[in-house]
Structure 1
Amino acid sequence: MELSIAQIKSGIVLLWALWLSLVTLMNGLEALKALGSLPSRFKTSSNWSLMLRVTETYRTPVWLVGVLFALVILWELLTSVALWVALFSGSPEVATTALGLLTLLWGGFMLANQFYMAWLTDPGLVAAHRSLFGVSLLSLLAYRLL
């Protein structure tokens, strides 16, 4: 069985929609755990503690880290919704926008990594964000060029 270009493009969008929805859910649960609404033993993303560690470079107030974390979750949620809308609508314009939002998310993390000198506390994090940026950009280009 041969996959059509349309199926491959839908597969790209589906993969990112599923993955980012899971990330968003895990980060949302992480936020609830940080607020004390979930038990500490509850398994979540651990991204809150990671953000606290990285932002310690400049002794960023916890409330500001909380605002940044909430903004990340909001960006992830909006991008997840856009990816699902793109998948179900079949709209190339919506898919391009959604994949663009995804790529910009990782670009934002790359900028934050540079600002907070994250390579000093977690070099693997910097590599992960750079890889996610590259793969999401490649997904966007593949979607548009196929």
Structure 2
Amino acid sequence: MNTLTTRLDQAQPYVLGLFRAVIGLFFACHGAASLFGVLGGPADGVPAGTWPGWYAALIQLVCGGLVLVGLGTRGAAFIASGSMAYAYFSAHQPEALFPLQNGGEAAALFCWSFALLIFTGPGGLALDALFGRKGTRATPGDEHEHGTEKQGTPVAA
């Protein structure tokens, strides 16, 4: 008999994959808006090579696209999270302490969402799986090699 918890646990990789794809899409849209003047971005886009706007938009477009499709998710999420932390602390936090006060809610939410993906991996339906990278779990039999037992708990020394 399946309990609700069992069903939710079975759906977890796919829901995480959906979360990854949506966050990646939203982030890539921010980059496209800034670079190409689409989706409500500046009409001419951000001038090429300007700091930090053009580089931030490029990171948003590239890392957002990689996270969207689940290719190199952890690395792309690391870069994206760091860029959003930089954006928050350099542009928003000096204005006021809390994101609601300083307009940095999007930067803070993107930063923490990508930080989560660094640790969880891409979830289900990621392109990484096509190239033999699991991203979420060690393969059975190599638990002790990585310092964890099958239940995911650290191995006692």
TM above 0.5, yes or no, is yes
Question: Is the counterpart of residue 76 in structure 1 residue 87 in structure 2?
Answer: no
TM-score, with length taken from structure 2? 0.52
SS in 1 for 2:40: coil
Match of 1:95 among 52, 64, 73: 73
- State the number of aligned residues: 112
Q: Structure 1 vs Structure 2: percent identity of aligned residues?
A: 8
Which residue in 1 is equivalent to 2:40? 44
Rounded Cα–Cα distance in structure 1 between residues aligned with 2:113 and 2:74: 15
Give ranges in structure 2 of 5+ residues lacking alignment. 1-6, 122-134, 138-157
- Identify the match of residue 28 of structure 1 among 7, 24, 35: 35
Cα distance in 1 for residues equivalent to 2:24 and 2:76: 9
Larger Rg: 2
Unaligned segments of structure 1, at least 5 residues: 31-41, 47-62, 88-93
Matches of 2:61 and 2:73, distance apart in 1: 15
Q: Render the CA deviation track for 1:25-82: whole Å, top value 9, x for unaligned.
A: 211234xxxxxxxxxxx86246xxxxxxxxxxxxxxxx8x943211111111221232
Q: What amino acid maps onto 1:75 in structure 2?
A: I
> 1:79, 1:101 within 8 Å by CA — same for their partners in 2?
yes
Secondary structure of the residue aligned to 1:118 is: coil
Q: Is the 8 A contact 2:22 2:68 kept in 1?
A: no
Code of the aligned partner of 1:44? G
Structure with greater contact order relative to length (CA < 8 Å, sep ≥ 6): 1
1:120-146 CA distance string (max 9 Å, x none): 9x9332344233322332343344778
User: CA offset at residue 98 of structure 1?
Assistant: 1.9
Q: TM-score, normalised by structure 1?
A: 0.55
Equivalent residue, structure 2, for 1:123: 101
Identify if the C-alpha distance between structure 1 residues 85 and 129 changes in structure 2 by more than 3 Å, giving closer, same or farther: closer
CA contact 2:30–2:61 (8 Å) conserved in 1 = no
- Give the CA deviation at 1:110: 2.1
**C-alpha separation in 1, matches of 2:103 and 2:36:** 20
